[in-house]
Amino acid sequence: MPDQIEIALAAAGQLEQESRQLERQWALRVERARYEAERARRQYDAVEPENRLVARSLERAWEEKLRVVEAVEQQHARWRVQEPLLIGPAERAGLQALGENLPRIWHTATTSAADRKRILRFVIREVVLDQKRTRGQVWLKIVWQTGATSEHHVQRRVHTYRDYIDIDRLRRRIAELNAEHKMDGEIAAILNQEGFIAARGCAFKGENVWVLRTRWGIPTVKINGMDKNPMRWPDGSFSIQGAAAELGVTPQTVFDYLARGLLAGHQLAKGEPWQIELSGKQIAQLRNRVRRTKRSKKEAS
C-alpha cells in the first residue's frame, strides 16, 4: 500500500470533490423548485380576475410550489450543516490520523462492512482484474487515490483441475507420497497440512486423491503388495477370501452380505482389499443361515 498519510490526504481531496458535486446537485434542485414556483406565479397573474374558479386553482398551485421551494431550501440547509462543503483543519487532522492507523481500524471488530467499503472508496481509485493472465490466479492492479499503482496475484477458486494454479507440483507430490506407500486418505491429510487446496476451494479427501491418481495413471498402493490376500489381516480382521472360507460360501456371497449389511467391513481406500470384522457369534449365525438356505433349495428341488 502507498504511504498511508498520502492516502489520507488524497481521501480528503476526494471528500471535498464529492461535496462540491453534491452541492451542485442541491443547487439545481433549489433552482428547479424556484423556477416552478415563478412559473406558477406568472400563470396566476395572467388569469382574468372574473374567472374566479381558474384563479383559485392557479393560486393553490402557486402556494404548493412555494411550499416545495421552502422544503427544498430547508433540506439543503440541513445537508450543509451535516456535510460541510470544505474540510476544515479538524477534519483534515482526523483523516490524517485515519491514514496513520488504517490497518488497525480496518481489522478492529467495531469496523462494519459498510465502513470498510467506504474506506476502500476513499483510498482506491480503480481496480483492474485479469483472470486469464495466469492459470489459477487472478491478476489485479490497484490504482490508489494518490496515483500510485500496485500489482498483485490472488489464487482464485477453480472448478476443475485444468485451471489449478500449480497442477504439476500437485501431481508430483501425490506421486511421491504414493511411492512412499501412503494410502489415499493419508495423502489427502498430508496435502492439507502442506497447504494444498482441492478444486472448489475445499480440503483434500481420500476420494479427491483417488480421482487424480486414476486420471494420472498412478497405481493404487496395496496393503499386501503383490501378494495374495491372506485369510486374516494382522489386526485380526478377515479378507474376502478368509470370510468366504470361514462361512463356507463363495467370495461373491460375501460381497452380497456386505451390500445387504449382513457383514461389516471397510476398504482403506478404493481399490484396496476389504477388511471384514467377524465375531464368533456372527460366524455361527451366518453358518446357520447358509445351512438353512441350502436345505430350502434342496427341498424345493
Q: 225 is written with which cell numbers? A: 503388495
If pLDDT is split at 50, 70 and 90, which confidence band does 18 have? confident
Strand partners, 274: 267
Q: Please count the residues of the chain.
A: 301
Q: 6 or 233: which carries more pLDDT confidence?
A: 233
3-state secondary structure of 300: helix
166-179 pLDDT, tens digit per residue, is: 788 888 999 999 88
Q: Which ranges of the chain does DSSP label H, i.e. alpha helix?
A: 4-46, 52-82, 89-100, 102-107, 113-123, 167-179, 184-193, 206-216, 240-247, 251-260, 280-300
- Band (pLDDT 50/70/90 cuts) for residue 1 is very low
Which pLDDT value is given to residue 82?
Answer: 72
Q: Show the cell assigned to 101.
A: 492507523
- Residue 10: pLDDT band with limits 50, 70, 90: low
The sign one gets for the Cα dihedral 101, 102, 108, 114 is: positive
**What's the pLDDT score for residue 190?**
93
Domain spans, the chain? 4-100, 166-216, 240-300
Bridge partner list, 142: 127, 150
Most confident of 84-98, 131-145, 199-213: 199-213
The burial class, CB within 10 Å (0-12 / 13-18 / 19+), for 2 is middle
C-alpha dist (Å) from residue 173 to 43, 164, 291:
86, 14, 51
**pTM summary value:** 0.39
Q: What is the pLDDT of residue 32?
A: 94
Least confident of 87-91, 231-235, 267-271: 87-91
CB 144 within 8 A of CB 150: yes
The residue with cell 482506491 is 124
Q: Pick the residue with more confidence: 296 or 67?
A: 67
Q: Is the pLDDT of residue 155 over 90?
A: no
Residue 135: Cβ within 10 Å count: 14
Q: In what order do the strands lie in the sheet with 124-130?
A: 124-130, 137-144, 149-155
pLDDT in tens, 216-225: 888 877 665 5
Residue 268 confidence class, pLDDT cut points 50, 70, 90: low
Cα separations in angstroms, 28 against 34, 35, 49, 66, 297: 10, 10, 34, 16, 98
User: Residue 139 pLDDT > 70, yes or no?
Assistant: yes
Dihedral over Cα of 228, 233, 238, 242: its sign: positive
Three-class secondary structure of residue 43 per DSSP? helix
- The Cα 209–Cα 200 span in angstroms is 15
pLDDT of residue 301: 57
Higher pLDDT, 266 or 148: 266
Per-residue cell: 86: 470544505
Rounded CA separation 4/158 (Å): 34
Question: What span, in angstroms and rounded, lies between the C-alpha atoms of 299 and 301?
Answer: 5
Q: What's the mean pLDDT when you consider all of the chain?
A: 80
N- to C-terminal Cα separation, the chain: 87
pLDDT confidence of residue 34: 93
Nine-digit cell at 74? Answer: 430547508
For residue 227, give every residue at least 6 positions away whose Cβ sits within 8 Å of its Cβ, in sequence order, or none.
none
pLDDT greater than 80 at residue 125: no
Query: Residue range 104-123: average pLDDT?
Result: 80
Contact 272, 222 (CB under 8 A): yes
